A and B are shown apart, each in its own frame.
Chain A
């Protein structure tokens, strides 16, 4: 085994753990906060049950604005907020804050777009049967859009796997950070190749898993 790799091996395991932590928190926030936000945005859109053009435009604008920030700038801009929230501005937990902040509007937009694919008539039929708004969300929208939502989460996971590399700037750690510190700054090409290879495998696995789940869920 090349010398450099042997030396960083213990760090590699830590890095993989850090990546998993950042990704887990970011995706968790995306699903728990971005998901409902996306459903709400969809219901505010013209022709839906909570249709409200000004509010729809405003929420959409807000989402676009957060999404406009280059991630590294968002990371730095959020430092004071991160410090109040986690008590520190460095480490994987701190890095998870801007990651979540970026993931929420991203996923909200993906959810909204996927719900648009649910045929109007199906929603209308549920109304005609006397379903409430919450029942329509839980039993119609999320059921009919479920395979698209899984694919949306897959896209999100892959994007944020690469965003998490930037988190190295605040000592967030992770696989990407390892690649930058050893592979790039110290010219340890073997480490670079290994970390990139790991990332490639991870991305392929996430995409393969996402596709497989989406396919089983899709009965259309």
Chain B
């Protein structure tokens, strides 16, 4: 198991657009289509990932992205200036995703459909296969969670939102979000322990940490 730093929420367009959400909303309300496009490109990928994680249908997720921003375009005149746009958009996307009926005859088994598990640099095919198997098991365990706990895990680990933002999206207190996240992680830990061959053990974790840490240089100081 390899450790990597927690990915921050990706905000495409944020680098090229210095204005914040509030300024962009004001500009879009005044009829600035470029500002609305910047908002779209800023939150497009996050909403797409969230919709895929719920519907497991990439094409449906794209439609949900479009529907979400169509609603935002209609409602942008009614949005309060102090309201944050991101929780509002994610809330609309979650509702659209849950209300969307699955297409007849089309089933998507897991979140990782369509994702190639090719070996990365310095990784053998067997290690790549083991990594793919680990990911499949983890995603199955996430899918087995209840909807309230699953959406908290997805918003936290997939979209990189903090607890306050998640609380605003799911419209519960922050303490409830903490409780749900804790319960979900504990359940995941128990379920992952049922797969001892996949290195879901703390010993493997610490071994990975030791492998990634640079070796300590011991300087022999002169004793005075």
Pair from one complex: no
Using a CB–CB distance below 8 Å, which chain A residues touch chain B?
Answer: none
Using a CB–CB distance below 8 Å, which chain B residues touch chain A?
Answer: none
